[in-house]
């Protein structure tokens, strides 16, 4: 069976395509099943591409602009794969659904309304197919709020208790500090470790300058020179615990004239982020925008 590609992948890039799918489900339920199955295949391939992209090789996060371009490229690659015949998953799902639904000229009210019965598929597949089938009849429904992924929730839950005291010293909401740690550490995925594997607990990317008397560790980092990113090895501070990292971070901001405007910002994520960038905390020209975005997502959760 050749799955039709006329509306393939349109739902992923055009929410209005659900209205067309709803109409198709009423006029040609079999074709609607095929296109929903094709959509699920496209989603799965997109998730696989995103998963591969999330595994960095140099320990550093690429710029948001490069990430956008890569996402566009991945979408085009997935579209080409699905339109060129796909992996066979869509065909298999369509056959399973048709085998259970037995759609014909005497279709049940559920089928004729676009709500297609689902077979006993694996849980993840059944959930995805059900969501798309339901979307065909609710194209105008409000989008669900964006939630912080569970692994990031764990990161936030772990750090918030340690952030409280430092945040009180600095006069800001603890979520701003956790957001800063998330940005610098990639939500904990880019932890700075010693050659023997020991954790440095350096959540904030604080370098070990000449005045630092504690332990340090060298690692590859990204610096911006004249607006251009380049990789170089730098020495960073190492701490015995998460709490020690937050305490040193608060001490750094309190004791430096460069960061005084970042103090007492309360829950003003934008003001906090701009003050840090203006104080020279990072060389990334988009640093304030990135930090404010992460911090605001935590304040809104």
Is the separation of the CB atoms in 155 and 191 below 8 Å?
A: no
- Residue whose tokens read 């960073």: 236
Is the separation of the CB atoms in 168 and 275 below 8 Å?
A: no
Is the separation of the CB atoms in 174 and 164 below 8 Å?
A: yes
Residue 223 pairs with which residues in a beta bridge?
A: 230
Checking phi first, is residue 48 left (phi over 0); if not, alpha (psi -120 to 50) or beta? alpha
- Residue whose tokens read 């840090």: 276
Distance, in Å, from the CA atom of 183 to the CA atom of 172, rounded to the nearest integer, reads: 17
Residue 265 pairs with which residues in a beta bridge?
A: none
Distance, in Å, from the CA atom of 236 to the CA atom of 55, rounded to the nearest integer, reads: 23
DSSP 142-184: PPPPP---HHHHHHHHHHHHHHHHHHHHHTB-HHHHHHHHHHH
Active site residues: 223, 248
């Amino acid at each position: 069976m050749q799955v039709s590609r006329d509306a393939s992948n349109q739902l992923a890039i055009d929410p209005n395509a659900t209205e067309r799918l709803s109409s198709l489900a009423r006029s040609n339920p079999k074709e609607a099943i095929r296109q929903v199955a094709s959509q699920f295949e496209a989603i799965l391939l997109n998730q696989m591409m995103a998963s591969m992209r999330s595994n960095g090789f140099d320990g550093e996060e690429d710029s948001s602009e490069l990430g956008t371009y890569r996402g566009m490229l991945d979408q085009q690659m997935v579209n080409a794969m699905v339109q060129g015949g796909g992996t066979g998953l869509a065909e298999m799902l369509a056959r399973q659904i048709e085998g259970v639904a037995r759609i014909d000229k005497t279709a049940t009210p559920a089928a004729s309304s676009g709500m297609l019965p689902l077979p006993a598929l694996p849980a993840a597949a059944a959930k995805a197919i059900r969501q798309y089938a339901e979307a065909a009849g609710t194209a105008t429904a409000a989008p669900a709020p964006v939630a912080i992924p569970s692994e990031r929730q764990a990161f936030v839950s772990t750090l918030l208790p340690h952030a409280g005291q430092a945040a009180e010293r600095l006069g800001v909401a603890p979520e701003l500090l956790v957001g800063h740690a998330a940005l610098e550490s990639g939500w904990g995925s880019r932890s700075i470790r010693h050659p023997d594997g020991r954790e440095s607990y350096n959540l904030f990317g604080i370098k070990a300058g000449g005045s630092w008397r504690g332990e340090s560790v060298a690692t590859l980092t990204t610096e911006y020179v004249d607006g251009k990113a380049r990789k170089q090895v730098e020495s960073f501070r190492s701490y015995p615990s998460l709490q020690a990292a937050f305490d040193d971070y608060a001490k750094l901001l309190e004791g430096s004239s460069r960061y005084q405007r970042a103090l007492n910002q309360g829950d003003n994520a934008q003001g906090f982020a701009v003050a840090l960038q203006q104080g020279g905390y990072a060389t990334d020209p988009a640093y304030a925008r990135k930090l404010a975005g992460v911090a605001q997502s935590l304040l809104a959760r």
